[in-house]
Chain A
């Protein structure tokens, strides 16, 4: 039997999980110079929010950077000790996210936001850090034993993530407002490093005060906020490969 279809499935899965150093573990605070994350709670926004987002996306395009507006589901903020690397990381990232398209009405020229829920994905940059085995540059493992120890797996957590992935494909996020929190609790039960983190309802803060608020929050231990929010970030390239591989897969399967 041909392995081509399983291979395309594998590639499609990986196209989301390959992390491209785009910094999706911290999309709100340590933003690239000159780029505002345009944080706003979902779904209410003020009137000129879409225009601001579109302007910033276009400005980035002129500089050869692809930005996109996203809706984040659940927000992890705080300090996290990465034991394997003996490093401290600051996180401010959604647990799940989906891109938002900004169409314009052909008649009124009004901006029409449109959530691409079919592209909803877990934030693998964040999960990689929470799982604590970030690869290290320029350092070799001192001995084979140490290597195997360093890569010791929390298989429970990975299996749970695999189940969540399957559920995401079958879930309509509109019908379940607490989706992110539900998933987070399942992960918390299997990842000891986040077992004692706080869970709160909402960040409830305006974009203008975001940096200050996050600075304070990031000095504390990790907190999970259940709410959804808009944010602007550089697009991980693989989101596009995911769609294209789906086309190839469809063709191979049918």
Chain B
């Protein structure tokens, strides 16, 4: 084995030499890591958890992060988890902004400006780091580590106490919620039996039945009665002539059923055993319901609040624990590895790469990374500041891996025991990103010189070419022998629903689509798209449509100079003069971008560029960036030469159309016949390509109002109808919007209320109701977590309290007051109290 790095060796063996090498995976640690992740003071989705577990258990793993799905959040959690798992991590990205986001988040969690080592080119930042390390060494000499250790133990014990308390509450809650589920199912079954009974026999006495329900001994009486009915059937089966003693028996049976079991005497006489049996069935269904009824003092709502409160306290204590243990560990290591830390800070004075290399070689980097386990570095600085030593990190994470070339990535991997590539093979890769202006001939000559046995074409197929294959392509190419575990982050938080839906439907449908976390009532009727057709063509030999440039520059000017973001329709997106929108102008072609830059620079002042974070760039340059308002400039006329592999490369189109957070303009001179994806894009928002610019878009496409509304026809049960009446009245009284059967975050919500004046939305869930087939408790927990992550507040209706003796308690004013008033109070608080953070 030529390398002293097994992971890199296995990667090259399998990809280059086609040797079958299994990804090393330590399954035994999964449970432990899962437990540790629960100690992180931050919410994580199921897939985010799995991605982190893979990173720490598999030698090579891939986290696919579609646009806006929280890659930085996941990487932040990965870094923080390293502290709990006693691991050393190096994050690499070629984008400084990506490093900065993770650094800021990690530091915020650790309450320390120097939580993560980020050595950059800026000499001022290096000077600050030098100062910090000097202070740390000094502080470590005087620190009372024993006292700190005691404080940490106290904190740990407090957390354990809370965890025990939480476990007890959760166990009780699980029992009760499962009982509520059973009650719901049994009661709905009973209602079906009851209603069918009433329909078939047209007679049902609620009073008699209620009396029966409270008098009858379910087992003995009903079985005895069934036996009697069976006997009655035998009597009738012998013929129409009935013996006197049998007649007396039947009379007694009917009387007993009427008086004791609440059966209708006349119906018994008319329908005989058939009625009797159905009546018994009804009683049985009722008793089955009662078997699951929750005790009168069982209050799920209180338990929910209590468990959440304890969980919040635990999260807070865990955050403190993480910060304290981080601080303590740093001081301890600053004492043990003082010389290496000191050498490192002195090395930071240097600029010349040769001197830096010399000084790095004198530092024991294993000691240094023990003291500083979290590192992040721009790709271009890795070779300068991090020595080329094997396995000095447990994990090397490469962000935006689809844009990192092989020549740079492989040496970076050499530094890690495990590799995690984060990126998205559905976004731009090296081949399409155009970062390279590689002369292919140089490459093919070089390839052929080194590989007489593998053709250049085969190398291309196998994603081995430095010019075309990113490190992500290299690792996940199907031709390669590796089977890298992949987790797709599937919760989209960036764009308004209609924008996100295009991304989900057209680019990620085969992954099951994205869970659109912005599907909230507040966004349901917000505008998010406008197509601007300028009917123009490119000038001869140019890749610029002058009319598009003019229209886009005008648009930018109006947005910025005339503040059109304060007028309809953009005013509905929440911009203010104090909080103006960030603006991006995206061009599919570099020439178009240059023309846009010239036109916009001539109109917009420098301070306005900053104020609006104005960014004019190609799709390639936009990858990894986002803006509130995006102006996409196609660079196309109806008669343009149309390079489908460029314009309709799905990865490029995916990136171009997923940058807008709130609103996208699509400015085009015309759509050529061959353009298919562009047409689908326009039609998704209700626009007909090349249609008269004055014709309005089809409103049913443009907004999702059709899916967000209140439709009584969709109410499925008497209970829902009754609740809907109460909620409608409540909504009317408080000027709220009521929705039913709406889809949000991948779930269907029975009811939702929205308060536009406070911009708050509330999901109203019914205890026990669920279509899920899996563990109800787990499903409920996950559902609540997902909805809360998206911004929903949730209140629950105690279904079991609304039913007594088989009927809805709708005419009981005392009950209604007792049940609805607390519910309405809670809803009022959740929808109107701005200080509430439930």
Contact = CB atoms under 8 A, between A and B. Distances in A.
Contacts of B439: 17, 19, 124, 127-128, 131, 133
B409 to A, nearest CB: 9
Contacts of A137: 434, 543, 589-590, 646
A244 B414 CA distance: 10
A230 B635 CA distance: 41
A114 B355 CA distance: 11
Contacts of A43: none
**How many residues of A sit at the interface, in one of the four size bands?**
35 or more
B120 interface: yes
Interface string A83-100: 000100000000000000
A110 to B, nearest CB: 13
A251 interface: yes
A62 interface: yes
Interface residues on B, range: 35 or more
Contacts of A244: 383, 388, 411, 414
Contacts of A134: 437
B200 interface: no
Contacts of B123: 58, 61-62
B96 A20 contact: no
B411 A139 contact: no
6 contacts: A6-B451, A7-B450, A14-B466, A127-B442, A140-B644, A251-B2
A158 interface: yes
Interface of A: 2-15, 17-21, 54, 57-58, 60-62, 64-66, 86, 101-104, 114, 116, 124-125, 127-128, 131, 133-135, 137-140, 142, 151, 153, 158-159, 161-162, 235, 237-238, 240-245, 247-248, 251-253
Contact of B441 (A4, A158, A247): A158
Given A3-B16, A21-B437, 4 more contacts: A10-B451, A60-B121, A125-B437, A135-B438
B593 to A, nearest CB: 10
Interface of B: 2-4, 12-13, 16-17, 96, 120-124, 351-355, 379-384, 388, 405-408, 410-411, 414, 434-443, 445-447, 449-451, 453-454, 464, 466-467, 541, 543, 588-590, 635, 641-647
B445 A139 contact: no
Secondary structure at chain A's binding surface: helix, strand, loop or mixed?
helix
Contacts of A8: 410
Contact of A248 (B351, B411, B466): B411
Contacts of B450: 6-7, 9-10, 13
Contacts of B16: 2-4, 7
A240 B383 contact: yes
Contacts of A248: 3, 410-411, 414
Contacts, number: 188
- Report, nearest first, the 8 A-B pairs whose CB atoms are least far apart: A244-B411, A61-B121, A240-B383, A15-B407, A252-B2, A14-B466, A6-B450, A140-B643
Given A62-B123, A244-B388, A14 B352 contact: no
Contacts of A65: 121
B253 to A, nearest CB: 89
Contact of A139 (B354, B414, B466, B641): B641
B103 to A, nearest CB: 14
Nearest to A106: B355
A11 B410 contact: yes
A237 B590 contact: no
A10 B449 CA distance: 8
Nearest to B641: A139
Given A124-B439, A162-B445, A244-B411, A66 B17 contact: no
Nearest to A165: B446
B437 A102 contact: no
Contacts of B647: 138
Nearest to B452: A6
Given A241-B408, A241-B411, A135 B588 contact: no
Nearest to A63: B122
Contacts of A140: 641-646
B834 to A, nearest CB: 39
B407 A18 contact: yes
Given A3-B17, A6-B451, A9-B450, A161 B383 contact: no
B590 to A, nearest CB: 6
